[in-house]
Chain A
Amino acid sequence: MTEPIIKVTGLENRFGEQVVHQGLDLEVMPGEIIGIVGGSGSGKSVLMRSVIGLQIPTAGTVEVLGQAVHGLDADGTADLTRQWGVLFQGGALFSGLTVAENVQVPLKEYYRLPVALMDEISAFKISMVGLPIEAGPKYPAELSGGMKKRAALARALALDPRLLFLDEPTAGLDPIAAAAFDILIRTLADAMQLTVFLITHDLDTLHAICDRVAVIADRRIIANAPIAELVALDHPWIQEYFSGPRGRAAAAGLGRSSSAVATPRLQKAG
C-alpha cells in the first residue's frame, strides 16, 4: 500500500458562527484523479484552499507529499508549492504579462535557466495544452474563456508538478470545449503521471475522467469511491445528484464519448 499524496485529517473550518467543515477526512492516492462534488456552499473551494495552504483551518491537519502544509517556514512552503500547480476558476492569469510570460513566471522564480531554453519550454507547454502558437504573445484580456483556462493550465504545469489542483475547470466553457478540456486533463495526467484534485459541478467531467469521486455534505466527506459505486449508495443527496435527469444523461453520455476517453486509460494500463 503506497502512502497517500494528500492526507486531510479532522479538518475543521469555520467563519464566525458558520461551520463549513467539521471532522473532514480525505485521502488521495498518487496517480489518481479525484473529483470533489457537493452542493453550492458545501465548502469544496474552502477544502481546496485548505489543502493548498491559502486557508488556515480552525482545526485538523493537512499533509501533502508527507509534509504538513500549515506551519511550514517560507523555504518549506516554497519547496512544497513548487510540487503542485493550481488552476483557479477564472484562470487567474497575470493580466500584465503575455501568456508565454505567464508560463515563465514559476520557472523564473525557482530556476536559473538560459533564456532560450525558457522560451522553448513555455512554447512547448503552450502547445501541449492545445493552444495555437499565436496565443503565446497575447495578453490574457485578448483570449476567450476556454483559451484562458488552457493558458492557466500551462502555467500550472510549468514546473512539471506532481499534483494538479483544478477548481471548476470546465465551468463557463461550452460543451465542446469542456469535453476537449476533460480529454486534455486526462491525457496530460497520464503522460505526466499527475495526481489531480478536481472540484467540479460538471457531471460529464466526473464520468469522463475521475477515478474516484468524493462527496462533501454535512460538513464532511460522506463518500469517496469510484462513481459506479457511488451511484449505488443510499444517500438522498447522492441519489438526487447522480440519478437526477442530468446525472442520468451524463452517465448515458459516457457510452457515447467513451472511445475518446478510454484511449488514454488503455495506454496507462498497458
Chain B
Amino acid sequence: MPAAPPKPRVEITRLPGEQGEVISLLGRLTVARAAGLESDLALAMAGDTGPVTLDLARVERMDTVGAWIIHKTLRDNPGTSLVNASEQAARLLEEVSSADRMCAIRPALAPFWQRELAKLGFYLIQFGQTVLAGLAFIGGTIAGGWRAVRSRRGFRWNAVLVQVEQTGVNALGIIGLMSFLIGIVLAQQGAVQLRQFGADVYVINLVGRATFRELGILLTAIMVAGRSASAFAAQIGSMKLAEEVDAMRTIGLDPVQVLVLPRVIALIIVMPLLAFYASVLSVVGGGLYCWLALDIPPAAFVERLREVVPMSDFLIGQSKAPVFGAIIAIIGCFQGFQVSGNAESVGLRTTLAVVQAIFLVIVLDAMFAVFYSALGFI
C-alpha cells in the first residue's frame, strides 16, 4: 500500500487589518480537517489583544463540522467578527448556532458499590418473581389440561403428533450417536480401572447398571433440554413478539391448550422412548468395546447383563423419564411466554430455558436418587 499522503490542512494566516487583526482561512472547512482546524484556529486566536476578524473569503467548502468550529470560535471569543461568509456558509452557521446545546453522551452512572448492590437486589427480586411465575405457569398448565379434558374439543392430538416428530423422531440420530459413544467411553474407562484387579468382566455391571438407571436417562434429558427446550422458547417467544399469542386469545383459543399442552404431552410420551433407545445404544457401544477389546463375545455379554442388571434399575430409570420430559417442556414454554419487547429477549430467554431445564433435570435426578435409595433400591 502506498504511504498515506500528508493530511491536508486548512491554511490559517493572521495579518494586521484596518480594524484589529484579520485571520484568514484558506481551504476546505470539513470534518476531514476538523482536528487540525480546531487546534490551529485556537492557536491563531490565542494571545490576541484587540478585536479579531475571521475572513472566510477563501474557504472552498464548508460542512456542519467546519461551521461548528467557526461558531465555537465566535462564541468563545466575544468581539470576534466574521466577514465574507458565503450564503451557504451563513446558512450552515445559522443552523449549527441554533443547535448549540451540549448533551450528555452516556447515562450518568451510580457509584460502583451502589450499582453492584442494586444488581444483587435486582437479581434476588427477579429470582423470586421467576420462581413464583414458574409455579403459576405449572399450575396454569395443569389447569389447562383439566380444561382440555372437560372441553368438547379435547386435546389437540395433531399438534402432539407434530411435536413428537420434531422432538423425538428427529432427535434419534444425534441421541443415538451420543449414547453409543458414551457407552464405548464408559466401558473403556471402566476396563482400565477394573483390569488392575483382574475384574474386567465387571465392566458389564458398570455399563449396564449405570446406563439403565442413570446415564441413559440423564444424558437424553440433557440433550432434549438443549434441543427442545430452546426450540420451544424460541418458537413461542417469536410468536409472542409477532402478537400471534394475543391474536389467539382474541379468537378465543387458549394459548396453554394450543401451545403448551401439546409440547408437554409430546415430551412426556417421547422422553421414556428416547431414554430407552439411548440406554440400549449405550449398552451396544459398551458391548462392542467388550467384544473387541476385552474378548467378551456378545452372547456372553448379554447373558451376564441379564444376571447383573435388576429389572428395578430399568423401571427406576424409565420412571424418571416422563417427569424430566414434562419439566423440560414446561420450562421451555414458560421462558417462551416470558419474552417481551424485542428480538434480543428471544435469545436471552432461549438461553435461560436451556440452562434452567438442565439444572432442574439434574436437581430432580438427585432427588430421585435419594428417594429410591431410601426405598431400598440400591
A residues at B contact (CB < 8 Å): 95, 98, 100-101, 104, 107, 111-114, 117, 119-128, 133-139, 141, 157, 159-160, 188, 190-193, 267
A192 and B101 within 8 A (CB)? no
Number of A-B contacts (CB under 8 A): 98
Stretch of B29-37, B138-146, B280-288, B329-337 on the interface side: B29-37
Which B residues are CB-close (under 8 A) to A160? 30-31, 63-65
Q: How far is the CB of A135 from chain B (nearest CB, A)?
A: 7
> Within the assembled complex, what's the spacing in Å between the Cα atoms of A114 and B63?
18
B106 and A124 within 8 A (CB)? no
> Within the assembled complex, what's the spacing in Å between the Cα atoms of A141 and B107?
14
Which A residues are CB-close (under 8 A) to B102? 119-120, 123, 133
Q: How far is the CB of B318 from chain A (nearest CB, A)?
A: 47
Q: Does B103 contact A (CB under 8 A)?
A: yes
B107 and A125 within 8 A (CB)? no
Please report whether the interface of chain B is mostly helix, strand, loop or mixed according to DSSP. Answer: helix
User: What would 10 more interface pairs be, CB under 8 Å, given A123-B102, A267-B91?
Assistant: A95-B342, A98-B107, A100-B104, A101-B105, A114-B35, A117-B34, A121-B65, A122-B103, A127-B98, A137-B106
> Within the assembled complex, what's the spacing in Å between the Cα atoms of A111 and B35?
9
Q: Which of A113, A119, A123, A141 contacts B341 (CB 8 A)?
A: A141
Q: How far is the CB of A149 from chain B (nearest CB, A)?
A: 17
A121 and B68 within 8 A (CB)? yes
A124 and B96 within 8 A (CB)? yes
Contact digits for B70-105, partner A, Cβ 8 Å, 1 yes 0 no:
001000000000000000100110111011111111
Q: How far is the CB of B34 from chain A (nearest CB, A)?
A: 6
Q: Does B313 contact A (CB under 8 A)?
A: no
Which B residues are CB-close (under 8 A) to A98? 105-107
Which B residues are CB-close (under 8 A) to A128? 64, 95-96, 99
Q: Could you list 30 A-B pairs, sorted by A, with CB under 8 Å?
A: A95-B342, A98-B106, A98-B107, A101-B106, A111-B34, A113-B34, A114-B39, A117-B34, A117-B38, A119-B102, A121-B68, A123-B102, A123-B103, A124-B68, A124-B100, A125-B99, A126-B103, A127-B99, A127-B101, A136-B103, A137-B108, A138-B107, A157-B64, A159-B31, A160-B64, A160-B65, A191-B91, A191-B92, A191-B94, A192-B63
Which B residues are CB-close (under 8 A) to A122? 103, 105
For the complex of A and B, 4 pairs with smallest distance between CB atoms: A136-B103, A127-B99, A160-B63, A133-B103
Q: Which of B32, B103, B106, B108 contacts A135 (CB 8 A)?
A: B103
> Within the assembled complex, what's the spacing in Å between the Cα atoms of A128 and B103?
12
Please report whether the interface of chain A is mostly helix, strand, loop or mixed according to DSSP. Answer: helix
Q: Does B344 contact A (CB under 8 A)?
A: yes
Q: How far is the CB of A180 from chain B (nearest CB, A)?
A: 16
B35 and A137 within 8 A (CB)? no
- Count residues on chain B whose CB falls below 8 Å from chain A CBs: 33
A137 and B63 within 8 A (CB)? no
Q: Which of B32, B34, B64 contacts A192 (CB 8 A)?
A: B64
Q: How far is the CB of B95 from chain A (nearest CB, A)?
A: 5
Which B residues are CB-close (under 8 A) to A124? 64, 68, 96, 99-101
> Within the assembled complex, what's the spacing in Å between the Cα atoms of A114 and B40?
13
Q: Which residue of B lies closest to A142 (CB)?
A: B107
> Within the assembled complex, what's the spacing in Å between the Cα atoms of A125 and B98?
11
Q: How far is the CB of A110 from chain B (nearest CB, A)?
A: 8
B34 and A191 within 8 A (CB)? no
Which B residues are CB-close (under 8 A) to A95? 342, 344
A114 and B38 within 8 A (CB)? yes
Q: Which residue of B lies closest to A187 (CB)?
A: B95
Which B residues are CB-close (under 8 A) to A101? 105-106
B68 and A127 within 8 A (CB)? no
Which B residues are CB-close (under 8 A) to A192? 63-64, 92, 95
A193 and B88 within 8 A (CB)? yes
> Within the assembled complex, what's the spacing in Å between the Cα atoms of A117 and B39?
11
Which B residues are CB-close (under 8 A) to A193? 88
> Within the assembled complex, what's the spacing in Å between the Cα atoms of A222 and B102?
47
A125 and B35 within 8 A (CB)? no
B35 and A119 within 8 A (CB)? no
Q: Which residue of A lies closest to B38 (CB)?
A: A117
Q: Which residue of B lies closest to A134 (CB)?
A: B103
Q: How far is the CB of B254 from chain A (nearest CB, A)?
A: 31
Which A residues are CB-close (under 8 A) to B98? 127
Which A residues are CB-close (under 8 A) to B39? 114
B103 and A191 within 8 A (CB)? no
Q: How far is the CB of B321 from chain A (nearest CB, A)?
A: 41
Q: Which of B68, B96, B100, B105 contacts A136 (CB 8 A)?
A: B105
> Within the assembled complex, what's the spacing in Å between the Cα atoms of A190 and B90?
12
Which A residues are CB-close (under 8 A) to B108? 137
> Within the assembled complex, what's the spacing in Å between the Cα atoms of A122 and B31?
12
